[in-house]
């Protein structure tokens, strides 16, 4: 008589981290994995179910209604500020609200939400170790982050609204890997731009380490907010040195205006507010995750950078299976 396999739902399973997480989960004997994502899941393992639906739709509810879900990993957040801002906003906030609502309605005991370390935001007066209690000021200069902060807050409100659900919020440092996020894209530039006279401390983490943290967060009994930090922080220019590239030194006085214009004209992938990341540090304190999650990173800075620079394996939302990765238009900044 076999025990019921536990059912794990992964939202945003078509994204790089979703795929990695699903692959890790499906190898475990006692687990069934169901993914929700509008995007495709190329080279999907056969025993992973994939529902190509929008989590905001009624159809998503059926999954929770008909089957007993044990863990939800909510990775289906849009981080890309180039998506239309209205869509971005409702997707992230309503999507998260919906997931939490399902968890409450259908008695899911555990929800793990992958927020981001960006919620704190870079600033000249940040402490060198930002703890989980720090105010979420990420949107003070970078308005596109508002919805990600709202998501984080919504999840936090669940701690006291529904104490019966173990809600975990993870806030990882800059994730490096074969994915399209701001910092990985930045390091792939032929000459990553830096601001003259500024060399802030940066924290990067390998994508596999983030997956390991997600799995650790699913341990029964774990709840709360955790910063997820990889190897020791290092100066931005040293990070670029690790890639073997030459930084492009730009004056910080005129740059924001130029970059903003380029962004508006869609010549650059970086809104000017992101320049703050090249100027000020936002380094997290990972002590809580080390103590409570027993999370320890496995990959160093060099491995994380290598993972970001290895481009052949993944290219965002590839339509259809087995399609060869298209090289995306290279980014032109400055």
Which neighbouring-strand residues pair with 165? none
The region, left, alpha or beta by phi > 0 then psi within -120 to 50, assigned to residue 234 is beta
The helix (run of H) or strand (run of E) holding residue 32 is: strand 31-36
CB count, 10 Å around CB of 316? 14
Residue 54 burial (C-beta neighbours within 10 Å; 0-12, 13-18, 19+): middle
Q: Nearer Cβ to other proteins, position 83 or 131? A: 131
Minimum CB separation from other proteins for residue 279, in Å? 8
Burial 160-172 (b: 16+ CB within 10 A, else e): eeeeebbbbbbbb
Window contacting other proteins (CB under 8 A); options: 16-24, 25-33, 88-96, 191-199: 191-199
The region, left, alpha or beta by phi > 0 then psi within -120 to 50, assigned to residue 12 is left
Where in 259-318 is the site for other proteins (CB under 8 A)? 280-281, 283, 300-301
Among the listed residues 60, 72, 94, 82, the one whose alpha carbon sits nearest the alpha carbon of residue 25: 72
Query: Counting contacts by CB under 8 A, is residue 227 touching other proteins?
Result: no
Minimum CB separation from other proteins for residue 234, in Å? 5
Which listed residue (5, 62, 128, 191) binds other proteins by CB under 8 A? 128
Which listed residue (59, 196, 313, 317) binds other proteins by CB under 8 A? 196
Which listed residue (192, 231, 247, 271) binds other proteins by CB under 8 A? 231
Minimum CB separation from other proteins for residue 128, in Å? 5
Query: Counting contacts by CB under 8 A, is residue 124 touching other proteins?
Result: yes
Which listed residue (106, 129, 141, 260) binds other proteins by CB under 8 A? 129
Query: Counting contacts by CB under 8 A, is residue 238 touching other proteins?
Result: yes
- Cα dist from 195 to 237, 255, 258, 275, 320, whole Å: 10, 8, 13, 8, 40
Which listed residue (199, 207, 209, 315) binds other proteins by CB under 8 A? 199
- Which residues of the shown chain bind other proteins in the complex (CB under 8 A)? 124-129, 195-201, 231-235, 238, 252, 280-281, 283, 300-301
């Amino acid at each position: 008589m076999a025990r019921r396999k536990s059912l794990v739902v992964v939202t945003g399973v078509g994204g790089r981290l979703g795929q990695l997480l699903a692959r890790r989960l499906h190898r475990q004997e006692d687990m069934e994995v169901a993914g929700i994502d509008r995007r495709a899941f190329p080279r999907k393992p056969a025993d992973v179910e994939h529902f190509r639906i929008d989590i905001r739709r009624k159809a998503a509810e059926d999954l929770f209604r008909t089957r007993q879900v044990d863990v939800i990993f909510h990775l289906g957040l849009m981080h890309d500020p180039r998506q239309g801002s209205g869509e971005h906003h409702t997707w992230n906030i309503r999507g998260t609200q919906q997931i939490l609502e399902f968890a409450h309605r259908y008695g899911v005991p555990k929800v793990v939400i992958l927020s981001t370390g960006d919620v704190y935001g870079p600033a000249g007066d940040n402490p060198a170790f930002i703890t989980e209690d720090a105010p979420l000021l990420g949107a003070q200069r970078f308005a596109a982050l508002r919805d990600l902060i709202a998501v984080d807050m919504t999840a936090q409100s669940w701690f006291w609204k529904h104490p019966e659900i173990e809600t975990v919020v993870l806030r990882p440092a800059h994730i490096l890997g074969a994915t399209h996020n701001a910092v990985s894209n930045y390091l792939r530039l032929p000459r990553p731009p830096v601001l003259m006279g500024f060399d802030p401390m940066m924290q990067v983490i390998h994508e596999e380490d983030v997956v390991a943290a997600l799995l650790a967060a699913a341990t029964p009994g774990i709840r709360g907010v955790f910063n997820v930090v990889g190897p020791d922080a290092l100066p931005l220019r040293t990070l670029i040195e690790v890639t073997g590239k030459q930084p492009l030194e730009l004056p910080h006085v005129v740059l924001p205006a130029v970059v903003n214009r380029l962004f508006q004209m869609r010549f650059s992938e970086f809104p000017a507010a992101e320049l703050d990341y090249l100027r000020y540090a936002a380094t997290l304190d990972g002590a809580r995750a080390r103590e409570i999650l027993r999370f320890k990173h496995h990959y160093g800075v060099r491995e994380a950078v290598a993972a970001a620079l290895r481009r052949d394996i993944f290219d965002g939302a590839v339509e259809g299976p087995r399609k060869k990765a298209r090289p995306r238009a290279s980014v032109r900044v400055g």
